[in-house]
Structure 1
Amino acid sequence: MNILVTRIDAIGDVVLALPICGYIKQSFPGARVSILARKYTKAVVDASDSIDNFIDYEAVFAMSPNEQIAFIKQFKFDAILHLVTHPDLNKLAKDAGIPIRIGTISRPYHWLKCNRLVWLRRKQSDDHEALLHFRLLRPLGIKKAPEKIWQYYQLNHFAELPDEFSALLNTDKFKIILHPKSNGNALEWDLKRFSELIALLDPDVFRIFITGSEKEKIELESWVEGLPSHVVDLMGKLPLNQLISFIRKTDGLVAGSTGPMHLAAATGINTLGLFPKNRPKHAGRWGPVGPKVGYIQTKTEDLDSISAWDVFRKIKQWKKIRDTKSVLH
């Protein structure tokens, strides 16, 4: 079986698409899975064994309509799963003659372009985004998601880190990443709270890294300049493939609902997400999924009520567990 999955949004969304792709490959031995996604998310796909082929969404839709059809036809897909969709994608899938076209019944433009419709209203669901994906497998005979879906991320391919960044990890200190921004995709914990948390983290015990994009670095320039000298500023310094490698070699990450939060969960490190209570932004829908994850969810529609001490207590628990395991080994 040759299947195309679409997820044309952000890094975290593509991370959460990996489990369904990995499960398809397990459920249909010999199956080939491709993903149509944005170019800047390609490093996520390259790191995973759950997906065989990456198709650049922007490159496809830079083609003429006839070129798009010819391009998609060459792959001879048996089915397409619209995990997230757009009317143009639906039209292309039908025009390219993909036999099984699966979408949600809640999108009117699916009614004419998809021939397998699944009842699903994301905003009204209590299920996690990664679990909601699995409902789209019902037309293929898969009725429920597996347990421990994080086992299907299958992140096994990591870029080599330049020496200057590898050297930063050469320490017995508890290595923690703080990722304050979200590229405007989620609510953000106040920078004052991050500063308060940094003040609680003993520099003799913790090595602290700040991550973010180059654009976010410019936004936070004055805040970063005011941080203590022992805090390592990595904002804008690591391309995504190297950021993934760096994250997996640290001990924990704290962030709002962002791509790096989901990457941290997928690599298996301690991950703490900060969330509001309101739908559809709550942790039940977008929380980290992995073997060492947790979250703090407010009772309000913002993150202001989460204190630095709330987060510090979680980090201390992580360190205690790590230190206990070190003694046992």
Structure 2
Amino acid sequence: MVQQLKLDEQQKWIFVHSGSGGSATNLSLNQYAALIQGLLTEFNCQVVLTAGPNESAQAHQLAELINHENVRIYDKNEGLVDFAHSLACANLFIAGSTGPLHLSGALNIPTIGFYPSRRSALPIRWRPINDAEKHIAFCPPKGKETQMNLGLIDIPQALRQIIPFVRKMWQLAD
């Protein structure tokens, strides 16, 4: 994977899975782009955009929106086991409430998840099984009209919590 994606082993790797396989509501590509740009501004790291079956075009579109030399696309693998092995290389994993988020959590990788605020979909129920201090979750405002709209999650506001979380996970000084 290092050779395939031209990754720098001296840098931290943030894996971002913007797809959902149709299983969950998700951030928009513009929200993901703003989030990743904020992290790339703050940290010297590389971002690996992961893509499942039929999600490659979305990952490429996101990479174009981000427009940064430290972004790589990982859309070709040998199936689920190979994909899970790649997740073990991540220093941080970001996604909606999807399978890859839970696989990363099972590997005890620090995770950032985005969830609807509907009672049946809350992170208290669906958070990954990594150590509690290794996960941070964001939801839209509660209410029948807003609970499923992840577009209402304010990314600049979220970054104010995410950046200190990443610093703590990576044991970096402020």
The interval holding the TM-score normalised by the smaller chain is 0.7 to 0.9
Report the Cα offset of residue 250 of structure 1: 1.5
The whole-number CA distance in structure 1 between the counterparts of 2:64 and 2:163 is 26
Report the Cα offset of residue 270 of structure 1: 0.5
Query: Which residue pairs with 2:63 in the alignment?
Result: 224
**1:174–1:207: 8 Å Cα contact kept in structure 2?**
yes
Equivalent position amino acid for 1:274 in 2:
F
What do you get for the CA RMSD once the two structures are aligned?
Answer: 2.5
Query: Which structure 1 segments of 5+ residues have no match?
Result: 1-161
The aligned runs of 1:1-329 (5 Å cut-off) are 162=1, 164-165=3-4, 168=7, 170-171=9-10, 173-202=11-40, 205-228=44-67, 229-237=69-77, 239-291=79-131, 292-299=134-141, 300-301=146-147, 302-324=149-171
**2:96–2:113: 8 Å Cα contact kept in structure 1?**
yes
SS at match of 1:273: strand
> Identity across aligned pairs (percent)?
23
The whole-number CA distance in structure 2 between the counterparts of 1:183 and 1:268 is 23
CA distances 1:20-41 after superposition (whole Å, capped 9, x unpaired): xxxxxxxxxxxxxxxxxxxxxx
Report the Cα offset of residue 166 of structure 1: 8.2
CA distances 1:112-153 after superposition (whole Å, capped 9, x unpaired): xxxxxxxxxxxxxxxxxxxxxxxxxxxxxxxxxxxxxxxxxx
> Taking structure 1 as reference, are residues 270 and 163 closer, same or farther at Cα in structure 2, changes over 3 Å only?
closer
> Taking structure 1 as reference, are residues 235 and 244 closer, same or farther at Cα in structure 2, changes over 3 Å only?
same
> Taking structure 1 as reference, are residues 283 and 323 closer, same or farther at Cα in structure 2, changes over 3 Å only?
closer
The whole-number CA distance in structure 2 between the counterparts of 1:230 and 1:190 is 21
The whole-number CA distance in structure 2 between the counterparts of 1:244 and 1:253 is 12
Equivalent position amino acid for 2:46 in 1:
R
> Taking structure 1 as reference, are residues 288 and 205 closer, same or farther at Cα in structure 2, changes over 3 Å only?
same
Q: Which moved more, 1:211-220 or 1:266-275?
A: 211-220
> Taking structure 1 as reference, are residues 226 and 166 closer, same or farther at Cα in structure 2, changes over 3 Å only?
closer
**2:5–2:72: 8 Å Cα contact kept in structure 1?**
no
CA distances 1:59-105 after superposition (whole Å, capped 9, x unpaired): xxxxxxxxxxxxxxxxxxxxxxxxxxxxxxxxxxxxxxxxxxxxxxx
> Taking structure 1 as reference, are residues 220 and 251 closer, same or farther at Cα in structure 2, changes over 3 Å only?
closer
Q: Give the total of aligned pairs.
A: 164
Q: Which has the higher contact order (CA 8 A, sep 6+)?
A: 2
SS at match of 1:215: coil
The whole-number CA distance in structure 2 between the counterparts of 1:318 and 1:238 is 32
Report the Cα offset of residue 169 of structure 1: 5.3
The whole-number CA distance in structure 2 between the counterparts of 1:191 and 1:164 is 27
The whole-number CA distance in structure 2 between the counterparts of 1:185 and 1:205 is 32
Structure showing greater radius of gyration is 1
Equivalent position amino acid for 2:47 in 1:
I
CA distances 1:184-205 after superposition (whole Å, capped 9, x unpaired): 0000101111111122123661
Scaled by the length of structure 2, the TM-score of the pair is 0.80
Moved over 6 A (4+): none
SS at match of 2:66: coil
